[in-house]
């Protein structure tokens, strides 16, 4: 994804780490212009989804500009690119913190169209407007007199996994990838851009926190030579918000071989830490990689959502 934002340090004990501050993940419109609204990829009950962040929050008196002003444009582009990827919409969920404890059924948007919705045969703009009308009416204050906010944080649940390149732009390919990179960050200082580049490849503060968390040891092989250890993201960089990209709970410290297996989706882990081996890996290669004697990985609760994404969207099931 393309990212624009600003990193601010926050002290914690005797060290500082970087936190998210008004940081967005963008895509490009059909004219290759950045769309100023944030989204990310995720999973819910082992089903892939796209999360669209809410719009609003402007306060001219305090000089605060509106958050995610291109919400409708972003949503329309995402729906069109999901249609191009042959993805069907299985549900639209309200997904703000205020409704986090409400049942899925009570925060599912009731559209004038039955789920699942085959986006490839629908009028995308009409589907977007229909979603806005339904979302605006959901969980309003009892005596609200306005039409409601149609640009809330929502989760688009899908019947198939989509990859970031399928959503990024209408013309994703070699030409585009040569023009821009995942750490594209207009408006940043050179220092900030260097930090982003280091985080993307598992270096800098992200790596330091993982080395500390894992006691500079691969939890699978026990290798402790730092030169042989890779600080890898569990949920891939291109599918994350920037907050997730900098979260050490979205990291795992592995030896080079196991990092490659994990990155390619040839292995993954259950929440109890047991390894799952892809059926696409031959029995001969499994034996050579010594995958039959792998210890159970210890995962924190905060890492489980990231690993769920890896199991559903990265792991090669066939």
pLDDT of 20 higher than 60: no
Question: Which is more confident, 318 or 223?
Answer: 223
Question: Is 288 exposed, middle or buried (CB count within 10 Å of its CB: 0-12, 13-18, 19+)?
Answer: exposed
The predicted model scores a pTM of 0.73
Question: Which is more confident, 116 or 171?
Answer: 116
pLDDT of residue 7: 31
The Cα 255–Cα 253 span in angstroms is: 7
Minimal CA–CA distance to 4: which of 182, 202, 201?
182
Residue in the block written with tokens 């207009």 = 186
List helix spans (H) across 234-282. 242-245, 256-263
pLDDT range class, residue 90, cuts 50, 70, 90? very high
What is the Cα 115 distance to its own chain's centre? 24
pLDDT of 55 higher than 80: yes
Minimal CA–CA distance to 188: which of 15, 52, 21, 11?
21
What is the Cα 144 distance to its own chain's centre? 33
Length of the chain in residues, anyone? 318
Q: In this structure, what token pair is assigned to residue 223?
A: 């290798």
Is the separation of the CB atoms in 70 and 40 below 8 Å? no
9-13, 106-110, 199-203: segment of lowest average pLDDT: 9-13
Domain ranges of the chain: 28-168, 190-314
Q: What is the pLDDT of residues 77-86, one digit of tens each?
A: 999 999 999 9
pLDDT of 134 higher than 90: yes
User: Among residues of the chain, what percentage have pLDDT more than 90?
Assistant: 51
**Average of per-residue pLDDT across 244-258:** 91
Minimal CA–CA distance to 35: which of 4, 6, 74, 66?
74
**Average of per-residue pLDDT across 96-112:** 88
pLDDT range class, residue 91, cuts 50, 70, 90? very high
pLDDT range class, residue 201, cuts 50, 70, 90? low
Neighbour count for residue 199 (Cβ, 10 Å): 23
Minimal CA–CA distance to 72: which of 154, 137, 4, 1?
154
The dihedrals phi and psi of 213, each to the nearest 5 degrees, come to -65, -40
pLDDT of residue 292: 84
Residue in the block written with tokens 């280091």 = 198
Torsion over CA: 224, 225, 228, 230 (sign): positive
Q: Is 279 helix (H, G, I), strand (E, B) or coil?
A: coil
Measure the N-to-C terminal CA separation of the chain; round to a whole number of Å. Answer: 27
């Amino acid at each position: 994804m393309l990212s624009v934002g600003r990193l601010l340090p926050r002290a914690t004990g005797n060290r500082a780490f970087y936190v998210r501050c008004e940081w967005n993940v963008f895509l490009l419109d059909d004219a290759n212009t950045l769309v100023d609204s944030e989204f990310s990829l995720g999973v819910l009950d082992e089903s892939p989804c796209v999360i669209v962040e809410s719009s609003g929050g402007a306060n001219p008196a305090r000089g605060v500009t509106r958050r995610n002003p291109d919400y409708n444009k972003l949503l329309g582009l995402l729906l069109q690119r999901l249609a191009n990827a042959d993805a069907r919409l299985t549900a639209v969920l309200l997904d703000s913190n205020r409704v986090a404890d409400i049942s899925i059924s009570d925060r599912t948007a009731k559209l004038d169209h039955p789920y699942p919705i085959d986006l490839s045969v629908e009028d995308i703009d009409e589907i977007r407007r229909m979603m806005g009308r339904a979302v605006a009416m959901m969980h309003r204050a009892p005596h609200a007199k306005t039409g409601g906010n149609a640009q809330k944080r929502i989760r688009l649940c899908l019947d198939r996994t989509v990859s970031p390149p399928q959503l990024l732009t209408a013309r994703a390919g070699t030409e585009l990838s040569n023009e821009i990179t995942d750490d594209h960050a207009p408006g940043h200082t050179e220092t900030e851009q260097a930090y982003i580049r280091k985080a993307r490849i598992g270096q800098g503060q992200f790596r330091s926190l993982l080395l500390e968390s894992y006691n500079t040891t691969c939890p699978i092989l026990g290798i402790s030579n730092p030169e042989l250890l890779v600080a890898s993201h569990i949920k891939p960089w291109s599918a994350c918000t920037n907050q997730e990209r900098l979260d050490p709970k979205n990291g795992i410290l592995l030896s080079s071989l196991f990092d490659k297996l994990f990155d390619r989706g040839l292995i993954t882990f259950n929440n109890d830490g047991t390894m799952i081996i892809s059926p696409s890996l031959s029995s001969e290669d499994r034996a050579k990689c010594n995958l039959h004697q792998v210890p159970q990985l210890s995962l924190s609760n905060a890492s489980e959502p990231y690993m769920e994404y890896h199991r559903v969207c990265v792991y090669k099931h066939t």
